[in-house]
């Protein structure tokens, strides 16, 4: 799990990414409270807590074992009732809580659940937790926006290199301006087909309600590959390869690079990948 740390009233609280969701360490949250980790089990013993966790799982976890939950709900509130995070997870297949073993382990909870725990623990602590969590998310959002802008700019710079190669090798001097534009459009679509599996016209036909062009909603990973393809295509043009030969090579490169980028568990599977495999066939 990818982890970040925020400071809440002097307490360092770890936030981990699990299943592309933010999970907050309950163990860290209680570190400076009297009772420490025992507070987590006290909270889990509460019948209202069990009901809340059950509703959260039913809304967010299709694999939740509702039958086991009914048994736990019926027992909750009794003096002899005991519930740990591990027992809850093992019995119901819950995903809202995560028990991590080891030196740097502890009990983690989805942010929705962590905020609920914060309300029980200390309303003041919860408000500071939300404030610091939101600050972290704002910083991450700004960083992602800057990265996307950089990659979009890089793609535009490489586009100039690409179009210069087209002008030098593919456009006869006697072509009209309209004909020249058509050649550029053809080369742009060659890259579109190699990476996205469709032409710009096909994208517009499939997305009549969307403004802009098909590259605007591209992911960072797709923009990186697009930038690479533009530079590679410029080289292939100088080598006087035909459009069909270049398309075959560029598509193979696009598939290889996208597979490399989406191979990590920390990156979600991108929508263009399926189309690329179809082209390869």
Q: Is residue 139 part of a domain?
A: no
Domain final residue, candidates 88, 121, 154:
121
33 and 150 belong to one structural domain: no
19 and 111 belong to one structural domain: yes
94 and 159 belong to one structural domain: no
Domain final residue, candidates 121, 156, 172:
121
- Looking at 18-27, 178-187, 227-236, which range is the least confident one? 178-187
47 and 98 belong to one structural domain: yes
Q: How many domains does the chain have?
A: 2
Cβ contact 172:240 at 8 Å: no
156 and 230 belong to one structural domain: yes
Q: Is residue 69 part of a domain?
A: yes
Q: Is residue 127 part of a domain?
A: no
Query: In the chain, helix, strand, coil percent, each to 5?
Result: 65, 10, 25
pLDDT given for residue 147 in this prediction = 67
pLDDT given for residue 41 in this prediction = 93
258 and 185 belong to one structural domain: yes
245 or 26, higher pLDDT: 26
Closest-CA residue to 43 (of 67, 76, 11): 76
By residue range, what is the domain housing residue 244?
145-280
Cβ contact 94:64 at 8 Å: yes
> How does DSSP assign 125-192, residue by residue?
HHHHHHHHHHHHHHHHHHHHHHHHHHHHHHHHHHHHHHHHHHHHHT--TT--HHHHHHHHHHHHHHHH
78 and 154 belong to one structural domain: no
pLDDT given for residue 109 in this prediction = 95
- Looking at 42-46, 183-187, 238-242, which range is the least confident one? 183-187
Residue 117 C-alpha from the chain's centroid: 26
The predicted model scores a pTM of 0.53
Average pLDDT over residues 76-105: 89
43 and 170 belong to one structural domain: no
pLDDT given for residue 23 in this prediction = 95
79 and 188 belong to one structural domain: no
52 and 98 belong to one structural domain: yes
Average pLDDT, the chain: 82
Q: Is residue 132 part of a domain?
A: no
Average pLDDT over residues 80-109: 90
172 or 90, higher pLDDT: 90
42 and 161 belong to one structural domain: no
85 and 154 belong to one structural domain: no
Report the alpha-carbon distance of residue 128 to residue 246 in Å, rounded.
56
Domain final residue, candidates 121, 156, 188:
121
- 213: which DSSP letter? -
Residue holding tokens 């006290």? 42
Q: Is residue 31 part of a domain?
A: yes
pLDDT digits (tens, 9 = 90+) for 150-193: 677 677 767 766 676 666 654 445 656 665 556 667 888 889 88
Q: Is residue 129 part of a domain?
A: no
Q: Is residue 136 part of a domain?
A: no
Q: Is residue 211 part of a domain?
A: yes
């Amino acid at each position: 799990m990818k982890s970040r740390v925020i400071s809440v009233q002097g307490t360092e609280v770890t936030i981990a990414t699990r299943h592309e969701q933010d999970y907050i360490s309950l163990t860290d949250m209680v570190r400076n409270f009297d009772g420490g980790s025992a507070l987590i089990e006290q909270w889990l013993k509460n019948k209202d807590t069990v009901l809340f966790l059950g509703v959260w799982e039913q809304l967010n976890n299709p694999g939740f074992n509702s039958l086991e939950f009914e048994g736990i709900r019926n027992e909750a509130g009794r003096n002899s009732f005991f519930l740990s995070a591990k027992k809850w997870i093992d019995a119901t297949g819950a995903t809202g809580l995560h028990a991590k073993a080891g030196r740097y382990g502890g009990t983690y909870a989805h942010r929705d659940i962590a905020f609920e725990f914060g309300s029980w623990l200390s309303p003041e602590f919860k408000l500071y937790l939300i404030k610091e969590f939101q600050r972290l998310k704002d910083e991450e959002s700004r960083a992602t926006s800057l990265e996307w802008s950089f990659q979009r700019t890089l793609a535009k710079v490489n586009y100039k290199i690409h179009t210069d190669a087209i002008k030098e090798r593919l456009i006869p001097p006697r072509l009209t301006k309209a004909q020249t534009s058509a050649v550029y459009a053809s080369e742009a679509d060659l890259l579109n087909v190699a990476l996205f599996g469709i032409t710009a016209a096909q994208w517009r036909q499939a997305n009549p309600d969307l403004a802009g062009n098909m590259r605007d909603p591209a992911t960072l990973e797709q923009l990186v590959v697009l930038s690479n393809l533009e530079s590679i295509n410029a080289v292939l043009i100088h080598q006087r390869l035909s459009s069909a030969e270049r398309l075959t090579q560029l598509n193979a490169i696009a598939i290889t690079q996208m597979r490399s980028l989406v191979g990590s568990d920390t990156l979600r599977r991108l929508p263009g990948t399926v189309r690329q495999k179809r082209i390869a066939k």
